Structure formats: structure tokens, C-alpha cells
Copies of this chain bind each other. A is one copy, B any other.
Amino acid sequence: MAPTESPGFYFNLATMRPIVIGFGLLILCMLVLFKIGEVNFVEGNVRLEVIVAIAAFIFFFIGLYFNYQSQRKISNQKDVANPSEIIDYEQIKKIGLTQREHDVLVKMADGLSNQEIAQQLFLSESTVKTHVSNILFKLDAKRRTQAIQSAKKLKILA
């Protein structure tokens, strides 16, 4: 983040699909619930505040996640104004690492297993393995530990 020029939101369908679908389903479920429970609400058996509070909570976190996804994309755009930035985004492009691969690389360096990375990035373990393999190839590493070491030397990891 922190690019001085406002980058705007970057959405691509592949990564946003689950979010959009989830968002839509949530609204649908909500509407269905309302239809079903309409009488109850009119009779005042269910506290309106509770419903709204729950909805607020859910959508609050959806908003968090939504923004997180877009931030992830934005962070790819290099930050010229902030020289203290440790990561060399030019180097990343030079090596040919994609955005998603770099995401995985960061998680790898945090010491996460493929499964944990999959959970945190909302991917299958298969996908993570694919990314890891590509990372190892592009960084000319035989193991993830070696890839992390190389990446830090190349300043594509903090």
C-alpha cells in the first residue's frame, strides 16, 4: 500500500470469483431467511437489532477481506516515494516471479507449510505446490529453504 497516487481497486475475476459468489450467496440467504421468517419479525419474536448486528458483523469482515484482496494486487505496484521499502520489485519482475508466486514465497519465508499457505491464501494445496515448484525453478533452488535464502539475497523478501 502507501503509494501516494491512489491506485484504485484492482479486481480480476479468477481471484475474486469466490468473494463475489460468497457475497451474492450471503445476500440470497439473507433474503430467503427474511421471506421465511417474515411473520416472526412482524410479531416481534426475533430481535431486529440482533439480525442487523449479525449482518453488520458479517459484512464488516467481508469488507475487510475484500479490501485485503485488492491490496494484495496493489502492493505489486512499486512504491517510488518510499525508499525505505525493502523489497525490490524490479528484481521480482526481472526474475519473472508473478504476483501470486511472490505471495506464496512470502508465506513460505514465514515458515508455513503448503497446507497452511493454502488456507491463508484460500487456495488448494495443489495450487500452492504448483506455485512453489515454479518459485523453485525461477529462483534456481532445490528446496524451499534455499529459495528463501536466495530471495533474501535478491531483496525480493524482507
A contact set with B: CB distance below 8 Å: 1-3, 5-9, 23, 26-27, 30-31, 34, 38, 41-42, 44, 48-49, 51-53, 55-68, 71-72, 74-76, 78-79, 82, 84-86, 103, 106-113, 116, 120, 141-150, 158
Give the shortest distance, in Å, between A10 (CB) and chain B (any CB): 10
Give the shortest distance, in Å, between A42 (CB) and chain B (any CB): 5
- Ordered by A's residue number, 13 sampled pairs between the chains whose C-beta atoms are within 8 Å are A3-B106, A6-B107, A6-B109, A6-B110, A42-B42, A52-B52, A57-B59, A60-B63, A63-B65, A63-B67, A78-B158, A111-B145, A113-B142
**A-B residue pairs, 4 tightest by C-beta:** A63-B63, A111-B146, A79-B84, A3-B110
In the complex, the answer to whether B55 meets A56 with C-beta atoms within 8 Å is yes
Interface centre among A1, A52, A158, by most B CB within 10 Å? A1
Residue of B nearest to A37 (CB): B48
Give the shortest distance, in Å, between A14 (CB) and chain B (any CB): 17
In the complex, the answer to whether A7 meets B111 with C-beta atoms within 8 Å is no
If the complex has contacts A82-B79, A111-B148, A145-B108, are A31 and B49 also in contact, measured as CB distance less than 8 A? yes
